Structures are given as structure tokens and as C-alpha cells.
A and B are shown apart, each in its own frame.
Chain A
Amino acid sequence: MGAFRFVHTADWQLGKPFGRFPAERAAQLRAARIDAIGRIAGVARDHGAGHVVVAGDVWDCEQPLPETIAQPLDAMASASDLVWWLLPGNHDPAARGGLWDRMRERGLPSNVRCLCAAGPVEAAPGAYLLPAPWVSKNPGRDLTEDFAGHSTPDGALRLGLAHGGTTEFRQDTEQSAAIAAGAASRGGLDYLALGDWHGHKRVDARTWFAGTPEPDSFPRNEPGYVLVVEAAPGREPVVTPVAVAQYHWSRDTLDLTEGLDPVARFEALHEGGPERRFRLAKLTVTGTARLHDRAALLSHLEGRTASYAHLDWDVEGLRTLIEADGLDRLDREGSLRQAAERLHARSINAQLGEADRGTARLALDMLVTLAADTVAADA
């Protein structure tokens, strides 16, 4: 058996509803996950891989809508030059009468294979897949322990597919499906393709998480990739991450210091990146800003929302610098200024609860913003 090249992916979580977003945006995000199949097929072709293994959580839930099953299968079927190997994971376990039975009843495309039972499957001459499928929501044990018990012909390529966090991430109890370190070597595997962790990650030389190809949340890891793997019996695999994501989800921090233009700083954040309409950004603003800089930033963010697929911000951590100059700009001696001073005093009053201080901060923001609007209207 020579080198076997394939694409390792996982955690497609098809049908994830994105219900927190407006309906139209949610539909776009759902569609992007189906579209990812076509992009993955492209990566496989580009790298001369004939097989795509999906290491669990292909679907987001046990009982998806019929179209959520049919449309991705159609997309895989249309990439007829590739074979798609699908492994049930914790989100879509192969429970009796569940999603996978429905797919079989419906009739699978000829190039799509479900790995619903443990035991070696020959994917290509001499190349064996050893799946560790989830058949229930809580298997209660490390399913990769079974790999050692599944024999394959001598000299065959042994590729394990499993789903679940490694014990490195999970400090769970004994009855955990977490995968213990060294699973690949204990199972005599040449490569262990893992799913569950949404960022792509090398666990050891023979073990990788592929991560989700299309991100679905504001990550602290690196989603949006597939892995092109070249494996050969007894050799360390060669693994190449390839970016495929359409939408970019980012968690950004803007740490302001007095005197620097916060609007410019914000604009610089996503300058040169993907188009903003494909970006979902969660912004946390910290540091210190003058009253009018703060108002200007908030006003700017409000206006900039339309450019983004999603933009939200948290300014709770931003301290507002109240000084005479800022107040003068607001109102030299009138009631606006007096109200602003009182609201600011309230917002830093340690006698009040955090909720009340937050309300005062928000009221002050509104005051400054509304006052700025009236100036703009006058102008």
C-alpha cells in the first residue's frame, strides 16, 4: 500500500439553526454550511484526494428537517468523483430509528457511505477505515479503545475515525467518552481523524482534529479549515490545513487610550480582511475614552452595523473620562451638562449596584449621543 490521500473534515453540524440571528441572516449562515461541501470537494480535487472523511457531527441534531438531510446529500452526490465517508457523532448519534436509518430508508447516493457500525471497512485497496461511531448520546466510554481489537490484513493502512474531546480538554468522570491520549498508537493506527473540537488542531503526530469547515460561533480556536492528509502504513502522515470558510467569525478587543481616535482604531481592526459582509464580529471595548470619543465610537458602531454580517459590542468595560472640556462641548452650563454630571456620578457611585451603575452609563451614552445628534441636526 502506497500513500493514501484524503480530506479530513468534521463538525459540519448541518441544520444548525442560528436562531439568535435575524431570519435572513440565519438562512444565509445555514446555506453557507451546505455550500461548504462544494468548497471541500474543490479542495479534494485540488489536492488529488478521492475520499473525504467526516469525523462526526455531520448534522447538528438527531432529528433534522427533511431538507436538512436531502440538500447536503444532493451536494455530495453531485461531487460524484469523490467518496464521502460519514461518521455519527454526539450531535447525530446513529440511534435506532434515527437520522441514519432515515437516510438509509430514503436511499443513499452511491458515493456516500455511512460508518454506523464499528469494524474495518476497506475504502481503497489496502486502506482500511476503522470507525468509532456514536450510537447513543452517551456511550459512557472511550470508543477508540475498540480499535486494537479490529484486525486488518498485514501491511494495510489503518485509518481511525472517532468523535469526542480528548482527555486533554475534558476533565470528566470515568464514564466519559473522552478520548485518552495515545489512542492512535494503542489502536495501531496510521492516522486518527478526530472531530468535535471546532478549531483544527494537532493532538499528536498521528492524531488531528479537523475543526469545522464553516465556523458557527465566535471562536477562541481556529475554525474554517479542512485537513488534506497523506497517509501511508507505518509512516507519519503529512497533514495540510486548508481554509474553506465563507463567513469569518471574530472576537475582537479594542483597548482605547485617551487621545487616540477610537473610530479609526476600530476601522483598522478589520482592514484588509475578508469583506465585512462575510464577517461576524463581537467587539469588546476596554480602556478609557473621553465623553465625546465614546459617543462618537458608539454612533459610528451603530452606523457601521449595516456593513457587517453581524456586529455587536460590549462597552461595559470602557471607562469614560469626564472632563471640563468634554462637558463644555456638551453644554457650557446648562441642564444638559448638569444632567451629564449627575449621570456620570451615578455611574461610578460605589454605593449603587452594578445594574444601576450600568443604567446610568447607558443613560449618559444616550444623553451624549442624542445631544450630538441635535448638534448634527443644527449643522
Chain B
Amino acid sequence: MRIEAIRLRNVRAFGEAGLALEGLTDGLNVLSAPNEFGKSTVFDALRALLFHKHTTTHREVKSLEPDPNPGGGAPEVTLDLTSPEGRFRVEKRFLRRRMAQVTDLTTGRKVAEADDAERWLRALIGADRPGQGPTGLLWVEQGASLRQPDAEEGRGDAVYDALGEEVAEVTGGERARRVLTKARERLDVLVTKERRSPKAGGPYRAAVDLAEALRAEVDVLTARARASRVTREELALAEDELARLGSGEAAAEREAALAAARARLAAAEGAAAKLDGAREAARRTREAEGAARLALERRNEEEGEARAAFATAEAAAARRDASRTSLETAKAASSKADEAAREAAVAERAASTLRDRAIAARQALAASEKLERLGRDLEAARSAHRALADLPKPRPLPDLAELERARTRVLTAEARAEAVRVRLVVEAAEGATLDGAPLAPGTRALSGPVRVAAPGLTLRIEVPDAAEERELTAAHDALCAALEKAGAESVEAARSQVERAREAAAERRRLEEGLTRLAPEGLGALERQAEEAAEAAILPDDVPDEAEAAAALRDASQRAAKAIGAAETARRHLDEAREAASSANEKAAVADARAADARSRLGAVEAWDEAWGTLTAALDTAQAERARAEAALAEAEAQLPDTEGLSAEVDRLAQAARNREQRILHLNREAARLRAELTRDRAEGADERLASVKGQLEAAEADAARYEREADALTLLIDTLSGAQAERRERFLAPVMAELAPLLAAVFPGGALSLTEGLSPDVLVRDGGTEAVERLSGGTREQLAILTRLGFARLMAKGGHPVPVVLDDALVFADDARIARMFNALNLAARDVQVLALTCRQAAFEGLGGTLLTPRPMTVS
């Protein structure tokens, strides 16, 4: 549709005279008027006409009421438009004398009235034809381009919805969205978003949890039911055994058997008592026999011992006699050997003395040679010693350097003094004297006052007291003092004095070294050595040959050693003989004592046979008695009944009876316990509860499986449907983007824009970067919103559904550069789209171009 004219009367500031905006062109139309003019009133009136029923009392409509309203006229709005069906006028009056009507401007025929007119209008703008696409118009309200259509206020929704319908039509529509929403809601109840696992609080998770809990319960109840069955079986076994044990017949039989066994045991025990006498007799005879045998054995043993003692005593006496003889022989041998040893020692000492003399003679000869050498050394040493003593004592040497410095000072002082001295130039000195001495011609330097006398003349020449002279005197004094300290008369004398001292020192060193070599331990020591050598050199008389003397001594020593060894051997033999004799004596004494003892105990050897016979006879008697007694005992034992066997039988039967009683007691207790247990299990009705829980488990598992299938199916549905939507949205948006591109290029050269699912600007790409639209400045966002709307409008226009775009005080935030580009974009869009721009910024919008609308009072009624 295209708007041709808008008229209003009794709307806010436009009273009875009303306002008419006429002659709107296909392209860009601009209403530029100051703030107070009421552009927004035009905008709101147009909106009221299009989107509110004439019967409404909506506050938006009420706000159209003039205030004050002296005439009391009702708000009226008229719209002239062109649609594919023709040219029409839509008129509405609100609040009072309400009216709505549509007139065909070509024929003047009234097309619709009242509610029909409303329906006609809704059909025109597409508000009541879901799925048919919008043919309404696009608004950019003051500041509203910055936000999404406000559903609460109900304003702008219709247009947005209309646009949305277009999108929805293509993408599968509102129904698809709702299906998707419902499917998501259903899925969301079942599973978690991230992992699509059963969601806590949802029925799926509840079924899974319930199934798990029931499985555990089934396990518990199964165990309990099984336990109950086992208990019943145990109880049956216990009762059966009790019945068997408690049977009267069997008990009587068992008691009779026990009584019979006891009687047999009593009889056997009587017989056993009689046996004890025979057993005692046998024991006694066994003891008697043992005693007899022991006596015989002891006699035999003692006799043997006595015979041995006799033999031992005899042998010991023989050994004692032999040892005495040996002792005497050894004594004689020892004395002889001692004598021989003494003689050999004497001979050795003589040989030794002779050899010592030979050695002494050899040493005296060596000493005289040494004495001669020592005499020579001593003489040299003494000479050196004397020479040393003759050498002058070393004195401290003068300091030659100091003397040189003093002399240099004198020479220097003399030179300086000479330079300043008064010169006495004598040119002719005939008869003149100087200090008494004849004065010769020539030049003289005066160092002190002089007296020149000539006949008739005496001249005393005074000399000034010069510093140089004083220095000279001081230098002289210093030199004299130094020479005196050095003990020299002159510097030269001091120098030769030093030279002499060095030579004397060298001589001293030479002498001292000689003396040290000759007498390292001193002269005294050398003298003592000489005296000792002199003593040692005295040669004895009658000197024997040393080698012979040594050989003789060796022989004598060997002989002496041999003799001493022989004497020691003889002495040892003597000691041994003494020891042997003593031992033989002792042993013989002991053996004699033992033999005597044996004899005293056993009596005479002759009587021994008789004693032996007596003991043998006693043993024979005891053996016979023992044999008799044992035979009697064996006979008695053979006749005794098996009391042990009988006793064991009685014990066995009695124990069995006790066991049985205890078993019965135990079984009764066990049965009672099992019955109690059963009562408890029965009360719980384990089987029935188990069956019930199993059924519930089956149901819970089926539920869980069903929810799982449902979740799978919902997931598949959601994926498939949203996939289809995405594809179709892409396809739908392509032409929108194509329409938007040139507009965008006009304002943001090189820029690109993506749209959200809700068709609002999403991301702006420019200068190689991406920016979320919501983060852009308000001005930029507004510009993008306007461009987007223009883009849609172009698309619709090209699709044969032209839609006007109304801009109410748009671009308030645009700077100068940007606003110029936006004007370009508006003009570009206006080639296909009808644009109505309302602005109060007259100066800023001067450059917009387009058709300027001139508001006039309303003339058409």
C-alpha cells in the first residue's frame, strides 16, 4: 500500500480546524516542523487509525483527545491510500460518535463500515491473516528504533508481527516455532540440557530412580522370601528329627541296653579284686630273686677286684727295688760330669786371657799411628789460633758516604764564599804588608778583615759578615766532627782505613775455617785426643799371636760347653731317677694297703669257694619261687572278664543317652526359634510383597524406557525441525540481505550485517572486525535499525507488497557525516519504498531532499 494523505481533526493540538498532509509521493516525503508543531501527533493518530478499533477506549486513543477541548469534538483520523485493489479512504472517529468507514475513492462507493471497515483494514495491513504476509507499513518511532517492539504496550507489535509473519511463513511459521517450543519444554522436563541425561525432578529421572530403588527392594525381598523357605525347610527337618528321637519304643530299647551293660561291668569288677593277691605274690618273688642275683654278682665283682689288688702290690714292690739301683748309678755319673766341667772352664779362662793380650797389642800399634797424625793437626791448629789472636780487633768502620756528603758541603760553601769575597787587587805593593806579611801584587779574595800596611799607611780592610762565610765555617766544623767520629784525619784516610778492615776480615775468615777443619770440637778436645792416643800407644811386652790365641780360645770354649752339657744331662738323669724311685715307693705302699683291705673283707682266699656256693644256692631257690608265683598270676589273669570293654560300652551308651537329651533340648529350642522367625516372615508376607514390588519394578522400568524413547524422539524432532528452520531462514534471509546490502554500503562502506532469529540487527562487520550491535553506540544502532527496516521494505516492494516506512524524529543521534550518508540511503531506498520522515530538526534535515510536505488545515470533511 501507499499513503496518499493523512488528515486529522480534534486530535490534541489540532482542534476543529484539523491538519492535512496531502500529496505524498511514492518516494521520500519529509514533514519538517518545529517541536511544538505536533509531528508525533500525526504519527500517533496514524497508528490509532491503523491498529486500534474505532470502538476502543485504549489509553493510546484516549491520549488523542484535545486538552482543553472547548468544542467537544471527537478525534477523527482519515487516511487516503493506494493498494493493489485501488484507491481508498479510511476514516475513523474515536471515543464519541464513534465511526469507521472505507470509501473507494475512484467510485466514491462506501466499501465497508464499522466492524466491516475494521476487518477490511486489518486485512489490508495483514494483521488478521496469519500466513499471508504483511502489507502494512514499517515504523520507526521516535527513539523506538533502539528497542524491540514493546509487547506490553501493544504498540508496534502489529507491524512487527506482520513482518514476523512473513518470516514465519517462510521458515515454517509460528506453528513450527510453537511446536519447537513445546517439544523443547517437554524434553526439558525429561532430560538435562547439556548431557541429555535424566533430569532431577522430572518423571524420567523419577522412573529411573524408582526402578533402581525397587530393584534393591526386590533383592531384599527375594532374600527374605528365600530365607523364609529355608527356615521352613530347617524347621521341617528339626521336627522330623524330634519325632524320631522322641519315639517311646526306641527310648525303652536304649535304656534296656544300658542296664544290661552296667550289670556285666559289675560282675567283671568282682573278679578283678581277687586277682590282686596273686599279683602281689609274684611281685615279692621277683624282688627276692633280684636280691639273690645281686648278692652273687657283687661277690663275683669283689673277688675279681681283690685278685687284681694282690697282683698290683707284687708288681709295685719289684718296680721300687729297680728304681733304687738306678738312683745310685745316676748319682755317680753326675759327680763325674761336674768335675769334668769345672776343669774345662779353667782352660777356657786361660785361653781367653791370652787372646785379650793379643788384641791389646794390636790396638796399641793403631793408637801410636793416630798419635802422630793428631800431633800434626795440633801443631797447625795452634799456629792458626795464634795468628787469629794476632789479628787486630775489628773496629766500627767510618761512614764513607757521610764523610763524602760533609766534604761536598765544604766544597760548595767554599765556592759560594769565594764568589762573594771582597777582592783585594794589589797592583803595586812595594813595601806594603798584609797582616804583617809582605804584600805581593795580584788579586786576593778576602775572607776576613785584613790589615794592609804601607809606609805611612795602615789600612784595615773590614769584610762584611756574609752568610756564605758562616756556612763555610759550619761546613768545616761538620766535616771535622765527622772525621773525628770516624777516627780518621781525612776522608782519604778513612777510605784506606775501610779497605784495611776488609782485608783483615778476610784473613780472619780464612784462619777460622782452617781451625774449624783441624779441630772441629775445639783445640782443647784435640789436645785431649792427642793425650788419649799417647796413653793407648804404650805397647805391652811378650805379645802373643792373635790368630793362634783366638783358635785356642775357640777350642777351649767348645770343650767347656760340651762338659757343661754332659754335667747337665747327668744331673737330669739323677733327678729322674729320684722321681721314679719316689713314685715306685708310693705306689707300692698303696698297692699293699689295698691288698690288705681285700684280704680283711673277703677273708682268706682259701675260704672263697665255700662262700660262692652258698650264694648260688640262694639264687636258685628265689628263681623257682618267682616262677611259681608268676604262673599262678597268669592263670588268674587269663580267667578275668574284659572290664575295660564293658566299661567303655556303658560309657558309650550313657553318653549317647545324654547326647540325645541335649539334642532334643537343642532341637526344641531351634524349632522354637525357627517358628518365631517364620511368624515374623509370614507377617511380612515376603512372597506377596516380592511379587508386588516386582510388578512395580516392571512398571517403573517400562516407564523409564518409555521416557527414554520419548526423549530420543523429542531430540530427533527438535534437531530435525530446528535444522529445517535454520535452512529456510537462511534461504529467506538471503534476499533480505541482498536488499540491505546497498543501503548498508551507503552508510557503512564495506560493512556487512547479520540478523538475529528475531530479525533484528545482530553483528556488524566493518573494517575487518566484528561488533555486536547491542554494544554499538545508540546512534549507530538506530541507523542499523532504520537500514534493516528499509531493507525489508525494499524486499516487500519488489515482492509486490509495497510497505511505507514512517520515520518519526529518527536519526537524532547521527553526526553530520553519518546523517548525510543516511540521507543517501533513504533516498536510495525511496526509489522503491514510500518513506515518510517526520522531523523537528529542520536545519539538519535540509539536506535530505525528497518531497517536503506542507501541513494545511483540514478542508475535506
Report which A residues bind B (CB closer than 8 A): 15-21, 26, 60-66, 68, 95-98, 102, 331, 334-339, 342-343, 346, 358-360, 362-367, 370-371, 373-375, 377-378
Which 6 pairs show the lowest CB-CB distances between chains A and B? A19-B695, A335-B172, A334-B172, A17-B692, A65-B685, A61-B687
CB pair B687 A358 closer than 8 Å: no
Residue of A nearest to B694 (CB): A19
Q: Could you list 18 further interchain pairs (A-B, Cβ under 8 angstroms) beyond the known A17-B693, A362-B712?
A: A19-B697, A19-B698, A61-B687, A63-B686, A65-B685, A66-B683, A97-B235, A335-B721, A336-B172, A338-B172, A339-B723, A342-B724, A359-B712, A363-B717, A363-B720, A366-B713, A367-B183, A371-B175
Per-position contact with A for B683-727: 1 when CB-CB < 8 Å, else 0? Answer: 111111111111111110010000001101110110011011101
Given known pairs A96-B236, A339-B724, the reply for A366 and B685 (CB within 8 Å) is no
Chain A interface mostly:
helix
**Cβ–Cβ contact B728 & A64, under 8 A:** no
Q: Which residue of A lies closest to B729 (CB)?
A: A335
Contact of B228 with A by CB under 8 A: yes
Q: Does B232 contact A (CB under 8 A)?
A: yes
Contact A60 B691, beta carbon cutoff 8 Å: yes
CB-based contact A339/B171 at 8 Å = no
Residues on A with beta carbons closer than 8 Å to the beta carbon of B714: 363, 366
**Interface residue ranges, B against A (CB under 8 Å):** 130, 168-173, 175-176, 178-179, 182-183, 225, 228-229, 231-233, 235-236, 239, 675, 678, 681-699, 702, 709-710, 712-714, 716-717, 720-721, 723-725, 727-728
A167–B731 alpha-carbon span in the complex (Å): 71
Neighbour of A366 across the interface among B170, B183, B697, CB < 8 A:
B183
Return A282 CB to nearest CB of chain B, in Å: 13
Assembly CA distance A270 to B714 (angstroms):
32
Contact of B175 among A20, A61, A338, A374 (CB under 8 A): A374
- Chain B min CB distance to A121 (Å): 24
The reply to whether B687 and A336 form a contact with Cβ atoms under 8 Å apart is no
Interchain CA distance A373-B169 in the complex, whole Å: 19
Q: A359: which B residues are within 8 A, CB to CB?
A: 709, 712-713, 716
Alpha-carbon distance A359/B678, docked complex (angstroms): 50
Contact A339 B721, CB 8 Å, known A66-B683, A363-B714? yes
B709 touches A358 (CB 8 A): yes
Measured CA separation A60–B228 after assembly (Å):
17
Complex: A232 Cα to B631 Cα, angstroms: 95
Is B169 a contact of A334 with CB atoms below 8 Å?
Answer: yes
Interface class of chain B by DSSP: helix
Contacts A331-B173, A359-B712, A362-B710 known; A96 to B235 CB distance under 8 Å? Answer: yes
Whether A335 contacts B713 by the Cβ 8 Å rule is: no
A92: nearest residue on chain B (CB-CB)? B687
Distance of B234 from chain A, by nearest CB (Å) = 9
Q: Closest CB-CB distance, A186 to chain B, in whole Å? A: 32
Q: Min CB distance, A352 to chain B, in Å? A: 11
Using Cβ atoms and an 8 Å threshold, which residues of chain B touch A343?
716-717, 720
Are A371 and B716 in contact, with the CB atoms below 8 A? no
Q: Which residue of B lies closest to A368 (CB)?
A: B179
- Which of A26, A66, A365, A370 is in CB contact (< 8 Å) with B179? A370
- Contact B685 A97, beta carbon cutoff 8 Å: no
Which residues of B lie under 8 Å from residue A18 when comparing CB positions? Answer: 695
Closest to B718 in A: A363
A-B contact pairs, 6 of them (CB 8 A): A17-B692, A17-B695, A334-B168, A334-B172, A367-B179, A371-B175
Check A17–B232 contact: CB distance below 8 A.
no
For A362, give the chain B residue with the smallest CB separation: B713
Q: Complex: how many Å from CA A257 to CA B179?
A: 28
Are B713 and A336 within 8 A (Cβ)?
Answer: no
Are the CB atoms of B688 and A68 closer together than 8 Å?
yes
CA distance A158 to B745 in the complex (A): 108
B691 touches A61 (CB 8 A): yes
Residue of B nearest to A98 (CB): B232
* Pairwise interchain contact A342-B720, C-beta atoms closer than 8 A: yes
- The answer to whether A363 and B725 touch (CB under 8 A), given A60-B688, A63-B688, A335-B176, is no
Instruction: Give the residues in chain B near A334, CB-CB below 8 Å.
Output: 168-173, 175-176, 728
Complex alpha-carbon distance, A65 and B225, angstroms: 12
Q: Closest B-chain residue to A367, C-beta based?
A: B717
Task: Please give the distance in Å from A356's CB to the nearest CB on chain B.
Answer: 9
Assess the A63–B720 pair: CB atoms within 8 A: no
Chain A residues positioned under 8 Å from B168 (CB to CB): 334
A225 CB → nearest B CB, Å = 25
B231 to chain A: closest CB distance in Å? 8
Closest to A61 in B: B687
